[in-house]
Structure 1
Amino acid sequence: MKVGLRMSAELLLHSPIEGTLRPLLDQVPRATKSEQSSWREGLPVLATALVEAGLGQVEMLLEYFLADGKRIDVILAGVDHHGRDTYVAVELKRWTGASLSDDEDYVLVPRLRNPEKHPLVQLKGYCDRLLAVAPPLRGDPKRLGGVAYLYNAEESRVQTLRAQVKDEHTRLFTQSTRGKFIGYLQTRFTPQPGHEAADRLLSSTERPTKPLLVHGAEILRGREHFRLSPNQQVAFDLVASAVENARRAKTRHVIVVTGGPGSGKSAIALELLAEYGYQGREAVVATGSRSFTESLRRFVAKSDDQAKHLFKYFNSFVDDHGPQHILLICDEAHRLRRTSKLHPSQKHRETGRPQIEELVDAAYVPLFLLDEHQVVRPDEIGTVAEFRNYANQNGLPFTHVHLPEQFRCGGSEVYDKWVLDLLGLPLNDSTGIPRVWPGDGDRFQVLHAETPEEMDAFLREKLRLDYSTRITAGFCWPWSPPSADNTLVHDISIDGWTRPWNVKGDQKVGSAPAQPFWAKADGGFEQVGCVYTAQGFEFDWAGVIIGPDLIARGGRLVPQRSASLDRSLTTRSVTDPQFNKLVRNIYKVLLTRALAGIVIYAVDEETRAFLGSLIKDHIRDARLVAS
């Protein structure tokens, strides 16, 4: 956990404010002038209230960083009346007044041109995040409070904002209710020093939030929704606007949303589905991945047959001519094919039409969510250019939105860029050279293994501690069917360490789950997955075995066609430049499946030494293993 600055209320109150701001600015170098003015005015006001309440030793954590990049103005840390650690998240506002906008999540503030996010909506998101990921708070929501303190506002000028006051995480106090605010602080804290409570919060490692599919299940049950980032919200609002236009005027609009792994593309998809999915057959989700679609049906829809019908394949629309849906959400759209291929028994239904035409024709608003660095087969054509060209040729409006954030890997944009540089992506980018892993604090760990046994043991311990984890590898070993006694063949053999690939097909083999459910079902850790079973999924911890199809020579990673056993890549129709790009994309997918940390092992000895020179943390380090 990271914080801009910490000190007791008493110390802050008796310290020159400019002296306080200097170290704070060092930690938040991009703070705007407005933020700095708010610090100068608001922090002493809050410290004064604490001191007047007899709580001068309560610790103030200023500009508390969440893993997704958001910052909480202040977290107060102290001891409650039962001797336990307790915390209050505070949103400070110097507004003199505010009123609700037409959207109750936003407010109108005098002299500000644009609506501002409702401070209580902000607080609710912060508190939800803290309760989900901060170990000292997990499972005990009463130990965390949330307060918006509008210290310059009269009560009569913010009365409409109270519509969002719902629980202990959304309290609101003003200049008019300052006495009640002091009383509230006295109910939350005792005069005991809060530095140890602050230590425990800051020294804890933020655990990842619940996996996407678990969130999706809650969304489709009408429970808590994702908190979208500003850029995700732009994409969501754009689609919502296009849907409303389509509903009224029957207009068409092609929208593409791009972003790296974990940037929130699937979060947007499920939020949109929650918004529109139960309005008849107006909104559906389609993917090009069998594993991903079947897992959505099993783990999100569960036994709800109506919800299962919301999840389809790209080739499910061969019979549609003209819009059948208001909104068609195409997730993993980089997996788009030239034409739709059906099961042999349904081959007579194939039309030969371009798959992009089938999908665009199926809805008034076709939405394509994609990452061009995840194109891993030669027949996958999902790119921004492909969709833009089709829209232009058919006279359809086209909009492209890019999501710059990276949330899957613990919020680590540093790691995402490091992986791209390691793999030499994008191609022909002279600035992308392999670099030493610089670290990213507590957000994400990158570890190097000398043997597969080390990787296995480390990740197995993570599994025992209730982290989700899987091992994946490049496709460099045979993939045999089950043996005569219905057990999986240990095709992957590395210096005495052996494992089977995940199951091929829809039937489980012993305790090994069926192929579509390897990533999420119990028992999946005992098999190694490949890009086709891992793509689209996320784990707390991941292990990646870099096979002999990608080796380090001369300070760079070089694909080796002769070492690949992926027939879709080694066929003569795939050129060497295509193979070069696809193999790099495959490892890009495998290396970006983790939320908290990754362990990397390379089969080739020189490659292993190369990775060891870039990754200084080794899993044999007792400190790392203990964590």
Structure 2
Amino acid sequence: MPDLAQSTFILPQDATLTSEQSALEQRIWAFINDNHNTTSTHLLIISGDAGAGKSVVLDAAFAQLQKAARATSGELAGTDNKLLVNHNEMLKIYKEIAGTKSYFRKKDFMKPTPFINAYRKAGKRADVVLIDEGHLLLTMPDPYNKFRGHNQLADILQLARVVVLVFDFHQLVKLKSFWTPALLKRVTRDYAVTHYHLTEQMRVGDAAVNDWIDHFVRGKMLPLPHPQHFDFQVFSDGQPMYDLIQRRDAETGLSRMVATADYPFTVLGGKTWYVQAGSLRLPWDKINFTDRPWAQRPETLHEVGSIYTIQGFDLNYAGVILGPSLGYDPSKDRLTVDLAQYQDKEAFKKRPDLADTTDAKAAIIMNAINILLKRAKHGLYLYAADPALRQRLLQLAK
């Protein structure tokens, strides 16, 4: 079996938290100890960019908490604690961890809706709830997932004494979980709230590349940096990029193709849907019924991943296909977005409470790009389907 730490937020056995991560773990531990006996709910919100190591710290803090909860004595012995994540692939990893540690139980890890429904039905409150990928919490009813409330965070805050929430506004990818700073403030205004921000970048292995991505997802086109220890390239065709990804995977592993959701697909029906990138044609990722993350399964080297299979996970090298929704305006030298080209209909499901979703939809597309571009530790390769954007990126690469 592959090392559980590969591509995931789980640290290898010989690795340790950074000083910033250790400081946050200690802050979480102090926050829990100070507040778990209070009658009111206390909330700690942890923010930070994709790749800042938020999930790494949350995993370490929850391990420390559950060791104390399952001890025979101590202030936290016997406490009822949960870690929630609204992401199927990440939940698989957490449950796999549970099978390897004596202080974890698989029931310690849940999706938000089952937690809300179970604790509300039982009429009880958890002592501590940690929420990973909190930006994926629903902000509207979702009958398909059996959530009949209006906001999952609001419900969780009523069902726990201490809540530790990992949150990143730049990783919102669906209207049904669309948050704004004003909404988060409104939902949490009746609670004692503490904020903590992680500033490190643990994934993209070069600060100049990370800065280029930050400008790009805001629409600004900058010359590509050429760092010594990070491979950053633009391709005029998808096939050579895929050829290089296959070589990188043979050399280092964890090298995959991913794409924006600009190519038709449906989850049901069993049909194979394809992504076209110049002369390259590869199938979209499939529903993963195994217990392994998408990037760790060898057959997925011959698929194209999406934000739903790669969000929250690491790659060594990423070949990113920027689909037709992304264009280029030469008069302004800026990236453009065409909402009509985006094929993820689930992401754009109607919201009766939002009068105009145009800006929200554009933000979702740019957030998805940010997620894809910040997957790789050692190399990032780009291909743009739009000819004008592709030509401009090739110019910037020179």
TM-score, normalised by the number of residues in structure 2: 0.85
Match for 1:453: what amino acid? Q
Partners of 1:303 and 1:242 lie apart in 2 by 27
Q: Does residue 564 in structure 1 map to residue 353 in structure 2?
A: no
Deviations 1:14-63 (A, max 9, x none): xxxxxxxxxxxxxxxxxxxxxxxxxxxxxxxxxxxxxxxxxxxxxxxxxx
Tell me the equivalent position of 1:525: 301
Cα distance change, pair 467–456 in 1 and its aligned pair in 2 (3 A) = same
Please give the secondary structure, in 2, of the residue aligned with 1:465: helix
Q: Does residue 272 in structure 1 map to residue 58 in structure 2?
A: no
Deviation of 1:382 (Å): 4.1
Tell me the equivalent position of 1:152: none
Q: Does residue 497 in structure 1 map to residue 283 in structure 2?
A: no
Deviation of 1:414 (Å): 2.6
Tell me the equivalent position of 1:357: 154
Deviation of 1:304 (Å): 6.5
Deviation of 1:250 (Å): 4.8
Match for 1:605: what amino acid? P
Q: Does residue 244 in structure 1 map to residue 33 in structure 2?
A: yes
Partners of 1:478 and 1:420 lie apart in 2 by 27
Please give the secondary structure, in 1, of the residue aligned with 2:281: strand
Please give the secondary structure, in 2, of the residue aligned with 1:595: strand
Tell me the equivalent position of 2:204: 409
Tell me the equivalent position of 1:545: 321
Partners of 1:560 and 1:388 lie apart in 2 by 31
Q: Does residue 312 in structure 1 map to residue 312 in structure 2?
A: no
Please give the secondary structure, in 2, of the residue aligned with 1:438: coil
Deviation of 1:372 (Å): 0.8
Deviations 1:313-363 (A, max 9, x none): 12122232476333211111111212464657xx4xx55253112221232
Tell me the equivalent position of 1:337: 138
Please give the secondary structure, in 1, of the residue aligned with 2:343: coil
Counterpart selection for 1:296 from 87, 91, 94: 94
Q: Does residue 439 in structure 1 map to residue 226 in structure 2?
A: yes
Tell me the equivalent position of 2:129: 328
Deviation of 1:370 (Å): 1.5
Cα distance change, pair 248–376 in 1 and its aligned pair in 2 (3 A) = closer
CA contact (8 A) 2:49 2:201 kept: yes
Please give the secondary structure, in 1, of the residue aligned with 2:335: strand
Deviation of 1:499 (Å): 0.9
Partners of 1:591 and 1:422 lie apart in 2 by 10
TM-score, normalised by the number of residues in structure 1: 0.55
Cα distance change, pair 437–580 in 1 and its aligned pair in 2 (3 A) = same
Counterpart selection for 2:265 from 479, 483, 493: 479
CA contact (8 A) 2:41 2:157 kept: no
CA contact (8 A) 1:243 1:326 kept: no
Report the RMSD for the aligned CA atoms in angstroms. Answer: 2.8
Partners of 1:531 and 1:358 lie apart in 2 by 26
Identity %: 21
CA contact (8 A) 2:172 2:367 kept: yes
Q: How does 1:387-426 map to 2 (within 5 A)?
A: 387-392=184-189, 394=190, 396-410=191-205, 412-424=206-218
Cα distance change, pair 572–314 in 1 and its aligned pair in 2 (3 A) = closer
Q: Which runs of 5+ in 2 are unaligned?
A: 71-78
Deviation of 1:266 (Å): 0.7
CA contact (8 A) 1:377 1:582 kept: yes
Deviation of 1:560 (Å): 0.9
Please give the secondary structure, in 2, of the residue aligned with 1:309: helix
Tell me the equivalent position of 1:460: 246
Cα distance change, pair 317–491 in 1 and its aligned pair in 2 (3 A) = same
Cα distance change, pair 289–590 in 1 and its aligned pair in 2 (3 A) = same
Deviations 1:224-264 (A, max 9, x none): 5632333x334322221121122454553111111001111
Deviation of 1:570 (Å): 5.1
Q: How does 1:34-45 map to 2 (within 5 A)?
A: none
CA contact (8 A) 1:213 1:296 kept: no
Match for 1:556: what amino acid? R
Tell me the equivalent position of 1:379: 176
Deviation of 1:424 (Å): 1.3
CA contact (8 A) 1:548 1:604 kept: yes
Structure number with greater CO (CA < 8 Å, separation at least 6) is 2
Cα distance change, pair 576–385 in 1 and its aligned pair in 2 (3 A) = closer
Match for 1:601: what amino acid? Y
Cα distance change, pair 517–246 in 1 and its aligned pair in 2 (3 A) = same
Cα distance change, pair 547–558 in 1 and its aligned pair in 2 (3 A) = same
Cα distance change, pair 341–406 in 1 and its aligned pair in 2 (3 A) = same
Tell me the number of residue pairs that the alignment of Structure 1 and Structure 2 aligns: 375
CA contact (8 A) 2:46 2:196 kept: yes
Which range is displaced more, 469-478 or 257-266?
A: 469-478
Cα distance change, pair 307–415 in 1 and its aligned pair in 2 (3 A) = farther
Partners of 1:576 and 1:383 lie apart in 2 by 14
Q: How does 1:60-99 map to 2 (within 5 A)?
A: none
Partners of 1:286 and 1:572 lie apart in 2 by 26
Please give the secondary structure, in 2, of the residue aligned with 1:257: strand
Partners of 1:470 and 1:283 lie apart in 2 by 36
CA contact (8 A) 1:561 1:570 kept: no
